[in-house]
Amino acid sequence: MIRLGLLGLGIAGQRHLKGFHELNRRDVQIYAVASSHVERTDEVALPPGTKVYTDYRELIRDAAIDAVIVALPHALHKDAAIYAARHGKHVLLEKPMATTMADAERIAAAFEESGTKLMLAYVHRFREEIIVAKRMMVAGELGAPASVLDRFCVPGGEDLPEWVWNQELSGGGVMMYSGLHSVDRLRWLLDSEVVEVYARVQTYGSHPQAITIENGLAAMLTFENGVISTLVENLPPYELQYRYWDTEIFGTTGMLHIRTDDYLEFTSPDVNFKQTFQGYNHYARQINEFVNAIREDRAPAIGVQDGMRSLAVAVSIYRSAYVGRSVLVSQAG
């Protein structure tokens, strides 16, 4: 039996908990949760007998726990991950890996020393529509990829926690909160690394919580294989009925349009088809991969280098916006 500890019962933590329930494996259990908001334990479906901690460090020190899921505010990722590694725990770490490259390197060193597993929670890789798109690209159905447009609108009304709007706690805005998913899934779909970025960011609107992060972003990414990609990302500080996350990939012989959690459409001179995807348990698949990596004593599908490379792109985007010119990702730090 693999006993998991869940750190955080906010939006991400509750999604991981839902994924655990959908997983329905008898060889793994949520043994304990840690939350500074004790009232949330009455609002979520905890398995019977789950231990509750108010201090995540106490949970990590519990000798009965084999692995932890870190779903805390971004600024706590480094300390929680390193503390877990030093106590011999495997970790499924929410993105971003850290808020700085220096902290990410400290995390990497801690896990290299401990010998325990670190998996990054880039859950979009486990979405069915993204998996199908990956298969099509590997099969060459688009020909050689050439250009990508990735854009999303994730409304940021009252449902988002207050720390998201605070630079010190979040480490950044729309890029850190959601944009890293775009970066990771493009790296995976294109099987190539970002080498150069050019970006602009902005802050707009008002919110009861003072906004000290960027909530609008546009960036151009150049990949090692020559693909160019444009990211347009928005986290408006109000509720909207309309939300989307679209990725359009243009190849030499066809194009893919992915609307996340909705459909995938493929178009070429000879073929046109559309497949819908809704309600797939990508969080369950993610936990399943994490548990299997522990059981099989192998590297998880999304490891330390994935976390560091995606974070390097985010850091480079912020640097480009600050200096007003394109920057090389290799200089992130």
**One digit per residue, pLDDT tens: the chain, 333 residues?**
999 999 999 999 999 999 999 998 999 999 999 998 877 777 788 989 999 999 999 999 999 999 999 999 999 999 999 999 999 999 999 999 999 999 999 999 999 999 999 999 999 999 999 999 999 999 999 999 999 999 999 888 767 888 999 999 999 999 999 999 999 999 999 999 999 999 999 999 988 888 999 999 999 999 999 999 999 999 999 888 888 999 999 999 999 999 999 999 999 999 999 999 987 799 999 999 999 999 999 999 999 999 999 999 999 999 999 999 999 999 987
> What pLDDT does 304 receive?
98
> Do residue 129 and residue 274 come from a single domain?
yes
89: its two tokens: 């725990």
DSSP, collapsed to helix, strand or coil, labels residue 221 as: strand
Asked if residue 307 belongs to a domain, the reply is no
Q: Percentage of the chain with pLDDT > 90?
A: 88
> Do residue 27 and residue 165 come from a single domain?
no
- Residue 220: give the domain boundaries: 124-280+312-331
Q: Percentage of the chain with pLDDT > 70?
A: 100
> Do residue 20 and residue 143 come from a single domain?
no
Asked if residue 306 belongs to a domain, the reply is no
> Do residue 97 and residue 148 come from a single domain?
no
11-23 and 282-295 helices cross at what angle (nearest 10)? Answer: 70
pLDDT tens sequence across 68-123: 999 999 999 999 999 999 999 999 999 999 999 999 999 999 999 999 999 999 99
> Do residue 187 and residue 321 come from a single domain?
yes
292: its two tokens: 């299997």
> What pLDDT does 198 receive?
99
70: its two tokens: 């870190």
> What pLDDT does 209 receive?
80
> Do residue 205 and residue 296 come from a single domain?
no
Number of domains in the chain: 2
Taking the chain, what is the end-to-end CA distance rounded to the nearest angstrom?
A: 40
> Do residue 189 and residue 134 come from a single domain?
yes
Structural element, H or E, at residue 11: helix 11-23
> Do residue 105 and residue 131 come from a single domain?
no
- CATH number for the domain spanning 321: value is 3.30.360.10
Asked if residue 246 belongs to a domain, the reply is yes
> Do residue 29 and residue 154 come from a single domain?
no
Asked if residue 16 belongs to a domain, the reply is yes
DSSP letter for each residue of 246-294: EEEEEESS-EEEEETTTEEEEE-SS-EEEEE--S--HHHHHHHHHHHHH
> Do residue 150 and residue 43 come from a single domain?
no
Give ∠ CA 294-192-146 in degrees, rounded to 5. Answer: 140
Asked if residue 192 belongs to a domain, the reply is yes
> Do residue 96 and residue 175 come from a single domain?
no
> Do residue 287 and residue 237 come from a single domain?
no
> What pLDDT does 158 receive?
65
